[in-house]
Amino acid sequence: MADLDTFADRIYEAAVVPELWPDVLEGIAKASNSAGGILFAANPQFSGWAASPAMKPLFAEFVEKGWAAKNPRPKRGLQLGLAGFVNDQAMFSDAEMDADPTYAYLRSIGLGWCAGEIVEMPDGDFIIFSWERRFKDGPFVQADLESLNAIAGHLNRAAMVAARLGLEKARAAVDTMRALAMPAAVLSRSSRLLLANDLFDHFVPAVVQDRQERMVLTDSRADKVFERALDCLDAGGDATQAVHSFPIAAKDDQPPIVLHLVPIRRSAQDIFSSGSAMLIITRVAPGSGANATIMQGLFDFSPAEARVAQAISSGLQIAQIARNHGVSSETVRSQLKSVFAKTGTSRQVELVRLLTGRVLL
């Protein structure tokens, strides 16, 4: 499969200009030998979908005929707690697919294979991405899934913004910030506070402070990760290797939160003409971070890292995690080291306190 990291700028452009999603979904579909792609997004204020041009009439019919409500994929994915993009074989046996009426319908129109991801956010956002492949072309393989997982963080952050905007183009910067209905701010090209909504104001100055050199986070661990992310954005354009989501642990009466850095790219700059990135805050409900799919939605974890983080927060030891997943202890340690780097922690006890929403002393 082609290197999908090249789509990062277009993905973030679609975050603020959501009518561009069909072209983004189509571009990734062509790169992944898919018939088309679908984005379904919902939150307490909105639900809707977007699809690549060729997939749009097929998915509209899929919804109108009631197959979307019967589709077993989302329910099974949630039941299994699968993180990241997975294929049909990860959710169902061949016999189950052969007997399922939804799969029969998909095969009747030439489809039947998917690479899909379902993401839950603790504040109620619900995101599904699915790229559909023709049945004659065979299922998605592990290399396909790894390519999609490499851009999953970009897709999830951008879709979260688009869902809050109702998958409709924002008319103006101030309207955009108000429509998000979640704490959000825009950073200038010098990483100073340019614009914020009233929900974001509640986190100033206890959590964020706009200083002369740049916006800083009062949590020193998180600020180090934040500074590296800003440096990557300044130096690398699309900054596909940067950590864009990072946590701040609970302190006293402040619950744990996660900050998402969303680059402002391409025509999105027509709305935020002087902005370099949006900073969005997600509140973490106590205990919600222990779910692998939620972890992947909150952080830049790979599916393997999300499973390790979930296992650690459940009290499992490295050797036991390795046995459960059929890998070496060295592999688990390497994945745990990456989890530490992405959460700004250095010990397992700190990680557990952070992920379970307890105060980090």
Per-residue pLDDT, 268: 77
Average pLDDT, the chain: 84
Give the C-alpha separation, 213 to 341, whole Å. Answer: 24
Distance CA 340, CA 359 (A): 17
The mean pLDDT of 178-186, rounded to a whole number, is 85
| 85: in domain | yes
Q: Which residues of 218-230 are buried (b: 16+ CB within 10 A; e: fewer)?
A: ebebbbebbeebb
**What pLDDT shows up at residue 361?**
31
**pLDDT by residue (tens digit) across 292-339?**
666 666 667 888 888 898 888 888 999 999 998 899 999 999 999 988
pLDDT number for residue 239: 45
DSSP-based three-state secondary structure for 63: helix
pLDDT at 356: 66
User: pLDDT of 183-218, one tens digit each?
Assistant: 999 888 889 888 888 899 889 998 999 998 899 999
Based on the domain organization, do 200 and 177 belong to the same domain?
yes
Asked if residue 184 belongs to a domain, the reply is yes
* Cα angle 143, 144, 149; round to 5: 95
Tell me which range, 2-16, 126-140, 153-167, 188-202, is most confidently predicted by mean pLDDT: 126-140
Of 18-32, 77-91, 102-116, 168-182, the poorest mean pLDDT is in 168-182
Domain boundary among 128, 145, 164: 164
Where does a domain end: 164, 197, 226?
Answer: 164
- pLDDT higher for 354 or 211? 211
160 and 57: one domain? yes
- Identity of residue 70: K
Q: Which residue has the higher pLDDT, 357 or 313?
A: 313
The number of folded domains in the chain is 3
Task: Return the amino acid letter for 315.
Answer: G
Domain of residue 260, CATH code: 3.30.450
Q: Do residues 154 and 197 both lie within one domain? A: no
Tell me the CATH number at 62.
Answer: 3.30.450.80
Note whether 153 and 31 are same-domain residues: yes
Nearest residue to 327 via CA among 352, 344, 308: 308
Does some domain include residue 183?
yes
**Does 236 lie in the same domain as 109?**
no
CA 117 from centroid of its chain's CA atoms: 9
Q: Which long-range contacts (CB under 8 A, 24 or more apart) does 171-174 make?
A: 172/271, 173/271, 173/272
Tokens 């699309």: give the residue.
238
Q: Tell me if 274 sits within 8 A of 194, measured CB to CB.
A: yes
* Shared domain check, 177 and 223: yes
**Predicted pLDDT at 35:** 96
Q: What domain range is 75 assigned to?
A: 4-164
pLDDT at 328: 93
pLDDT in tens, 233-291: 777 554 455 557 777 877 766 777 888 888 888 777 777 767 888 899 987 765 554 56
Whole-structure pTM value = 0.68
**pLDDT digits 0-9 by tens, 3-21:** 677 899 999 999 888 889 9
Q: Which has the higher per-residue pLDDT, 357 or 107?
A: 107
Same domain, 154 and 177: no
Same domain, 131 and 266: no
Summarize the confidence of residues 162-185 as an average pLDDT. 75
- pLDDT at residue 360, rounded to an integer: 36
| Model pLDDT, residue 359 | 40
